[in-house]
Amino acid sequence: MVTITERFLNYTKFDTQSSEEGTGCPSTQKQLVFAEYLKNELVAEGLQKVEMDANGYIYATLPANTDAEVPVVGFIAHMDTSPDCSGADIHPRIIRNYDGKDITLSEGIVSSPAKFPELLNHIGEDLIVTDGHTLLGADDKAGIAEIVQAMVYLQQHPEVKHGKIRIAFNPDEEIGMGAHLFDVGKFGCEFAYTIDGSEVGELEFENFNAASAKIHLNGCSVHPGYAKGKMVNAGRIATELVQMLPQDETPETTEGYEGFFHLTSIQGGCEKADVSFIIRDHNRLKFEQRKERMEEVVAVINAKYGDGVAVLDMNDQYYNMREKVEPMMYIIDMAKQAMEQAGVTPRIQAIRGGTDGAQLSFKGLPCPNIFAGGINFHGPYEFVPVQSMEKAMMTIVNICQALTK
């Protein structure tokens, strides 16, 4: 049998980086190359009803091996890697029996516990690391490997009884589009889990409410020597607008359940400028208040400089899945028990971000998030312990078995 390590390393050979500049789905055609590979692998591993649609979404079934009435459960992971760091020509390496010391990834590039203390939580384990020039792709190819390996395990251990299981792999999660074309009806599950968390033990059913806000600023460019009373400097107004928002409510000043306004870009000059933010809060009321604050800031700018100087384009992106999961808290309790059976201490926490599961929950598929084991996602210091992947795989197996009891 292919080991989970071998399976994951095979997946890292594929560059599946998504792109916010893409105009179709998937946002990059190279994701379809990996999708085709996965489709063929699932067929070879004995999965049934394996299909890939035109957008690269893959669905497959492991039939029940019991006649008992069992809810259909799903497991989901995403194929793309982050646009934040190159995912091409990845050169992974396994550090056996990690000793807690600095790891030289390449000459002059060191992953050190002094900077990444989470390394010390994995002394004695086998760490898969990068060469320091690309990300690793454990987000979320580790999740894919764990789901596939769990399906193989269940087929090889018929004594482990389970109902019908559905699995799905989707593109473009990293750019917030992964759930948009996900066919919940076709998937046909009562609930599901994304295997897309980080550190071993993470179990998440709360996430941010999220919105994007882009302010288009229209200035008036005049020769600076004769500009008094005439010039409207869009670039300067952009900096003024940023300062009007709470300076202690940014990502670098908040944690836990604290929300924020995050400035993502300022572009332009005197004539035209664009300011982009993302708005986040776990509390729905506070989230709505943050959007109102953004509207108020734009109104102040227009009152000061003239109507139409600032034009706000604000859109909700996703909502906190908690309200959709809470009526079915037994799926959280079941995941906790499955982790404990796998030798994992569950750590329930709120995501300071979002997952495909958040959007899927609002499409009628309650979908909390379980750890995949990778750490330091989206950068060259990313790593994943082999033992964490194995525990995630067994957590999936244990969930499937628990539904028959």
* Per-residue pLDDT reduced to its tens digit, 306-356: 999 999 999 998 899 999 999 999 999 999 999 999 999 999 989 888 888
Other CB atoms within 10 A of residue 78 CB: 27
Q: What pLDDT was estimated at residue 166?
A: 98
The answer to whether residues 364 and 192 touch, using CB atoms and an 8 Å cutoff, is no
Where are the domains positioned within the chain? 4-206+320-402, 209-318
Q: What pLDDT was estimated at residue 41?
A: 98
Question: 253: helix, coil or strand?
Answer: helix
Asked if 252 is an active-site residue, the reply is no
Active-site annotation holder among 126, 139, 146, 173? 173
d(CA 373, CA 196): 8
Question: 84: helix, coil or strand?
Answer: coil
The answer to whether residues 292 and 298 touch, using CB atoms and an 8 Å cutoff, is no
Q: What pLDDT was estimated at residue 12?
A: 98
Q: What pLDDT was estimated at residue 354?
A: 80
Q: What pLDDT was estimated at residue 265?
A: 93
For the chain, first and last CA: distance in Å? 28
What is the CATH T-level fold of the domain 209-318, as seen in this structure? Answer: Alpha-Beta Plaits (3.30.70)
Asked if 80 is an active-site residue, the reply is yes
Q: What pLDDT was estimated at residue 176?
A: 84
d(CA 187, CA 157): 25
Q: What pLDDT was estimated at residue 353?
A: 83
Active-site annotation holder among 15, 45, 80, 146? 80
Pairing assessment for the beta strands 383-385 and 127-129 based on DSSP bridges: antiparallel
Can you name the residues that pair with 262 across neighbouring β-strands? 278
Angle at 136 between CA 134 and CA 142, to 5 degrees: 165
* Residues in the chain where the model's pLDDT stays below 50: none
- Out of 3.40.50.800, 3.40.50.2000, 1.10.260.40, 3.40.630.10, select the CATH number for domain 4-206+320-402: 3.40.630.10
Q: What is the CA radius of gyration of the chain?
A: 23
Task: Give the closest residue to 376 by CA, choosing from 84, 104, 11, 7.
Answer: 84
Q: What pLDDT was estimated at residue 355?
A: 82
* 367: Cβ contacts below 8 Å, ≥ 6 apart: 74, 76, 191, 192, 193, 194, 321, 325, 355, 356, 357, 358, 360, 361
Q: What pLDDT was estimated at residue 231?
A: 96
d(CA 165, CA 399): 11
Q: What pLDDT was estimated at residue 137?
A: 97
